């Protein structure tokens, strides 16, 4: 955080500096500060899919209204339709908005493009579960569990055993 702040204070910041600053603040647990920095990244580069995706996905992860985040993610997806991370983010936004059927093909495409991505496979399992596809859900969670960190692996094991009784 301090390195990016110094660059910003010196006037040497472009959109990517603001994006990295926002990501560092988010990682440090300062969502309000991260949100402001990420908004600045998008203001400076309104056509940059990485900035749009980070801000949109972070907003939904932090419990903000899905609709504005979804608009950012739709724009990012239109700009970079073959990016698995952006495709996953958009699909997850649709799922959280209650449209799991619309989300499923996006998340399946993201999982096919990034089969070792823990988060994408967890999202896939959660959507399968919501759509009543319990066996497919458990398969996706097991795929995620193969490369997951211990804390995430424990959460996935609970989902495999009981379904997603408690979301992240």
pLDDT above 90 covers what percent of the chain? Answer: 96
| C-alpha to C-alpha distance for 41 and 33, rounded to whole angstroms | 13
Read off the pLDDT of residues 125-165 as tens digits, 9 standing for 90 and up: 999 999 999 999 999 999 999 999 999 999 999 999 999 97
How is the chain classified by DSSP, letter by letter? -HHHHHHHHTT---HHHHHHHHHHHHHTT-HHHHHHHHHHHHHH-TT-HHHHHHHHHHHHHTT--HHHHHHHHHHHHHH-TT-HHHHHHHHHHHHHTT-HHHHHHHHHHHHHH-TT-HHHHHHHHHHHHHTT-HHHHHHHHHHHHTT--HHHHHHHHHHHHH-SSS--
Residue with tokens 């609970």: 158
Read off the pLDDT of residues 15-33 as tens digits, 9 standing for 90 and up: 999 999 999 999 999 999 9
């Amino acid at each position: 955080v301090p390195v990016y702040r110094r660059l910003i204070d010196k006037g040497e910041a472009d959109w990517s500096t603001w994006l990295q600053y926002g990501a560092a603040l988010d990682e440090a647990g300062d969502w309000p500060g991260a949100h402001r920095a990420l908004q600045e990244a998008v203001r400076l580069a309104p056509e940059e899919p990485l900035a749009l995706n980070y801000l949109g996905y972070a907003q939904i992860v932090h419990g903000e209204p899905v609709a504005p985040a979804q608009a950012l993610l739709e724009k990012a997806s239109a700009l970079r339709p073959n990016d698995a991370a952006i495709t996953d983010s958009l699909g997850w936004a649709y799922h959280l908005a209650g449209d799991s059927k619309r989300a499923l093909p996006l998340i399946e495409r993201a999982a096919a493009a990034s089969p070792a991505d823990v988060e994408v496979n967890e999202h896939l399992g959660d959507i399968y579960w919501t759509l009543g596809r319990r066996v497919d859900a458990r398969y996706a969670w097991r795929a995620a569990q193969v490369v997951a960190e211990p804390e995430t692996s424990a959460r996935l094991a609970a989902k495999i055993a009981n379904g997603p009784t408690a979301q992240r």
